[in-house]
């Protein structure tokens, strides 16, 4: 009788192990196929539109003179207050020259877009600048 009871405990532990492992496997399978848990809001179009307007209006070229006030003023007005953003400027060797971000920016939930500047007012510049805008919600 004593051995029978021991066998029950071993069976229970074995059953628990099987249930645990099958749940782990099935939950991963269900997660990737039925519902995308990591899907966040798509802000790429907004980031891309804002950067395009920064080029069109000539504001983006302020980066060449290290003047960022107009860019920041524009971003504060264009991006809703409950959205976070981070703007970065890189040189052609991808060295970070400057960045600014809102306090509520969340890097784990952001979409980004970028532009490459290689001139100003129709004049080609030798130094290329890359501006990246990330927007999070």
Q: Identify residues 56-115 at the interface with other proteins (CB under 8 A).
A: 56-59, 70, 73-74, 77-78, 80, 83
The smaller minimum CB distance to other proteins, of residues 80 and 119, is found at 80
Query: What separation in angstroms does the CA of 26 have from each of 18, 19, 20, 29?
Result: 12, 10, 10, 5
The smaller minimum CB distance to other proteins, of residues 45 and 92, is found at 45
The smaller minimum CB distance to other proteins, of residues 19 and 96, is found at 19
What are the strands of the beta sheet with 110-120, ordered from one edge?
96-101, 84-91, 123-136, 110-120
Cα–Cα distance measured from residue 113 to residue 115, given in angstroms and rounded to the nearest whole number: 7
CB 8, min distance to other proteins, A: 4
CA 109 from centroid of its chain's CA atoms: 5
Task: Give ∠ CA 102-66-104 in degrees, rounded to 5.
Answer: 5
Structure tokens at 130: 């890359």
The smaller minimum CB distance to other proteins, of residues 113 and 129, is found at 113
CB 67, min distance to other proteins, A: 13
Phi, psi of 112 (to 5 degrees): -135, 160
Q: Identify residues 21-50 at the interface with other proteins (CB under 8 A).
A: 23, 27, 30, 34-37, 39, 41-43, 45-46, 48-50
Binding site for other proteins (CB under 8 A): 1-2, 4-6, 8-9, 11-13, 15-16, 19-20, 23, 27, 30, 34-37, 39, 41-43, 45-46, 48-50, 52-53, 56-59, 70, 73-74, 77-78, 80, 83, 137
């Amino acid at each position: 009788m004593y051995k029978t009871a021991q066998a029950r405990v071993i069976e229970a532990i074995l059953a628990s192990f099987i249930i645990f492992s099958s749940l782990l496997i099935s939950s991963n399978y269900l997660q990737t196929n039925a519902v995308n848990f990591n899907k966040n809001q798509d802000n790429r179009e907004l980031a891309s539109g804002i950067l395009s307007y920064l080029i069109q209006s000539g504001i983006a070229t302020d980066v060449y003179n290290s003047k960022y006030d107009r860019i920041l003023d524009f971003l504060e007005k264009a991006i809703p207050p409950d959205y976070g953003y981070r703007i970065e400027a890189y040189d052609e060797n991808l060295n970070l020259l400057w960045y600014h971000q809102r306090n509520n920016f969340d890097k784990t939930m952001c979409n980004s877009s970028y532009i490459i500047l290689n001139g100003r007012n129709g004049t080609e510049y030798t130094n290329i600048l890359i501006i990246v805008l990330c927007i999070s919600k």
